[in-house]
Each structure stands twice: as C-alpha cells, then as structure tokens.
Structure 1
C-alpha cells in the first residue's frame, strides 16, 4: 500500500536513483530478508551511484573530447616511445592538483590526441572540469567572437576549466590576434589550472610558429616552465589500427 506514495515522494524530492532502487527491491521477494538498515544502505548507495553517473555524463558532454579514450585502453606495446611509468603517474592526476601543464609532442598518427583525451576522461572521472579544443578551430572561433560579443565569455570559459586540452598546436603560424589570444588564455591559467598541449612540432620549433619573439618568450614561459613532457616517435598507428585504438 505504501509503495506508490513512497515512489511519488522520492521522485518529487529528486531522489530518482533511490526511487528506482526502491521499486526494484519492492518487487524482489528476497529483499524481505533485509533489515531496515540494509534497505536504507542499498537505497542510499543507488542514489549516490545515480548522481555520480549523471554528473560524470554531464562533465563528459561539456568536455567534448575528440576521442572516446580511457587510460585502461592505452596500448603500451606500440613502438612510439611512450613511457608507461610516466603516463601512469599522469593518469593519477597529481600534476593537475599541482596545476602543472603537459606537452605531448610527436609525429602525426602516434596517438597524441588519443592520449590527451584519455587523460581528459580520467580527469572527468576524478570530478574535474575538462574542455577539449582543436587549436586551429579555437582561434577561428575567437576571431568570430570578437564581432558578436562572445569573446570575453569564451575566454572566461577557457580560463576557468580545471583541465584545458589544446590539440593540434603549431599546424600553422600564428597571426597577431592568435598570439594575443593564446597569451591571454595561458596568462589566466598559469599557476591556477592545468593545460595539455599536443603538437607535431618539437618545443624548439615553437618560437618560429608564434612569430613575435616577445610573445613567444611570454607564451612558452607560461606553458613550458611547469610542464611535464611526453615525447613520442615512430610510425603512424593509423596504418595498423582502427581510429578508436591507441
């Protein structure tokens, strides 16, 4: 007799996970053997899991990760110079807590973006806010935003996430606006939040891409000074693997 009113009240209070668990337990004859504290513990556990999963799904939607990658799926057997010990330390996330950065360099196809997204996925699971951006598209979006009033809002968003992934950095030289935008983003984040940058170019070539020596020094100081590094090499993994593997 109490089942339906209880379900209605649980749902009305926003306890959807608990309501589902209550409904399942009420329909399970073996649940009659449970004590009241055991019932309550199961209901609370389901509510916690429901809320955790819902928050994780929201964080992943916000992150817009390019690949559905997880650290558990990383292939350490490929000949690309991936230091397993270092990567597992990065997976643990202490560098994000310390507000350090990460630079992943290597030729095309060795899994730079995939590894960055795997770290981003783990950060989401660790209840951290993450945002993925391809650098060429980001600069184009910021250029448009200058004219429609969204510029300050986008910069604030880029500056506030706990982990920002800047993918495909250095594909083309920066113009004056892009140099300014990148410096503004990194200035806001330096020492406060963590950034991952992936690039086909070694760090030694970044000055040339940035162009202006003064901007180059300022940008690299804020990005590389406190950065961990993954330097990859080898042949493209796309030749032997599907796009979902790395």
Structure 2
C-alpha cells in the first residue's frame, strides 16, 4: 500500500481525523484482517468524530461559559429544591427549539450559575450555539459600545445566538441605559431565541430592579410569560463543599 502518497492526499483534503486513523490502523497488525469496507468505515467514523469535537471546541470557546459544568455532574441529592423531572426535560433541549426561556432564582451559592452553564454546555454539544454573559458586566460593556458606535452590532450578536445566559441579574437596580439595553436584547430575541436568566431576586421583585414600570412591563412580558422556572433554596453549596469537586 502506498502509505505516504495516500496520507498526503488525505491531508490535502483536510481530513485530519481520517489521517490519524489511517496511520494508527496501518501500524496496527491486528487490523490486517479487516476488509476494505471495515477500513473505510473506521476512517470515516474517526473523521466524523474529529469534526464533531472540533465544532464543539469552537462553540465552547465562543460561549465563554463561567463554569466547566456538564449535565452528567449535576447533583440532585442536595436539598435545594431542584426539580429533577423538570431539569431532565430541560436537558433534552426542546425548549430551546421552541424559543422558551428559563429563570433560575435563589440565594447565592445554591448553584444557579453552574446549572445554567451545564445547560449551556449541553446546548453546545447539541449544535445549539450558546453565549454566557454576566448581566452587570454586559450592561457596562454595552454603554461603552454605545459611545464607540458598536451598540447596534453588539445587540444583533446577542440576539442571534441560540441560547443566551444572563447571569447575576438584579445585583443592582438598572439605570436608564441598562433598562433600554435589556429591552432591546429581549425584543431582539423574543419568539426567536432562548434566554436563561439567573438571579438572587425572585421574578416577583424584578419590577423594582428594572425601575421604570413601563419598561418593566415590556421586559417581563417578553421574558417571563414563556419561561420555565426553577426556584432554588437552602444553604450555600460553597459552605458545605469546600473540599468537594466541581459538581453543583
């Protein structure tokens, strides 16, 4: 077999996964009994896997998730009010295809951000691009973008991603600029994309956080009416798991 010319051709086609598999198979004496069809099947399988892994790496890099969280590591044993049946349903991702939203509320340390990132990671694995943003930082960056003439482009970017995670919403009352930006974001996404909001403040008090009643009504109408809700409670997991791994 003309191994080197064949490898050169595979590389020229950009089939890196297939090239690695070809080298491994050709140097493994146990594969000599494989048929041509079996060889080809293994090469194709490795190429498909390599491309899938590359796409996932790219999506996760873009998502910039705060936590390296996965759905396999979710701890359902902690006493914090996590509805396992609902969360398992959310893991399937149909709510993202339906452009529903999700509100994760509860006191600090109960795993809101971690669970949101786990769902974001699963979305990336399922070819649904995600993006993580801390709400306070995002509103500051949007104010800078407005001054630099990039505001509209940033809003369109936030509106385009399949799953937007807005973490730590409501840590401080919104000013006029932040209120306007939040309305622009939810309007851009309403009925087209899904959003996860995490907050220490229950949704019933978000009117006070937003400030202006007219803006609050418009924002909440677009965020809440089609939102799944998970209200967590209990002690901070950080206090009880100082020596534990990443699970939340």
Alignment TM-score > 0.5, same fold: yes
Q: Report how many residues are paired.
A: 246
Quote the offset at 1:154 in angstroms: 1.1
SS in 2 for 1:228: strand
The aligned counterpart of 1:61 is: 61
Is 1:14 aligned to residue 19 of structure 2? no
Is 1:177 aligned to residue 177 of structure 2? yes
Q: For each residue in 1:17-56, what CA deviation from the matched residue of structure 2 results, as whole angstroms up to 9, or x when unmatched?
A: 0011001111011111000000000000000000000000
Quote the offset at 1:240 in angstroms: 1.4
Is 1:76 aligned to residue 76 of structure 2? yes
Distance 2:222 2:66 in 1: 25
Which blocks of at least 5 consecutive residues in structure 1 are unaligned?
Answer: none
Quote the offset at 1:149 in angstroms: 2.3
Map 1:25-174; keep pairs closer than 5 Å: 25-174=25-174
Distance 1:7 1:153 in 2: 44
* TM-score when normalising by structure 2: 0.98
The aligned counterpart of 2:222 is: 222
Distance 1:136 1:192 in 2: 24
Distance 1:79 1:87 in 2: 15
Quote the offset at 1:245 in angstroms: 2.5
The aligned counterpart of 2:211 is: 211
Quote the offset at 1:152 in angstroms: 1.6
1:244 to 239, 243, 246: 246
SS in 2 for 1:166: strand
Distance 1:245 1:38 in 2: 40
SS in 2 for 1:167: strand
Which blocks of at least 5 consecutive residues in structure 2 are unaligned?
Answer: none
Distance 1:19 1:150 in 2: 43
Distance 1:75 1:91 in 2: 14
Distance 1:65 1:170 in 2: 20
SS in 2 for 1:191: coil
Distance 2:150 2:38 in 1: 52
Distance 2:212 2:149 in 1: 27
Q: For each residue in 1:84-116, what CA deviation from the matched residue of structure 2 results, as whole angstroms up to 9, or x when unmatched?
A: 111000001111111100000100000000000
Distance 1:210 1:126 in 2: 33
Quote the offset at 1:148 in angstroms: 1.6
The aligned counterpart of 1:194 is: 194
Distance 2:220 2:235 in 1: 28
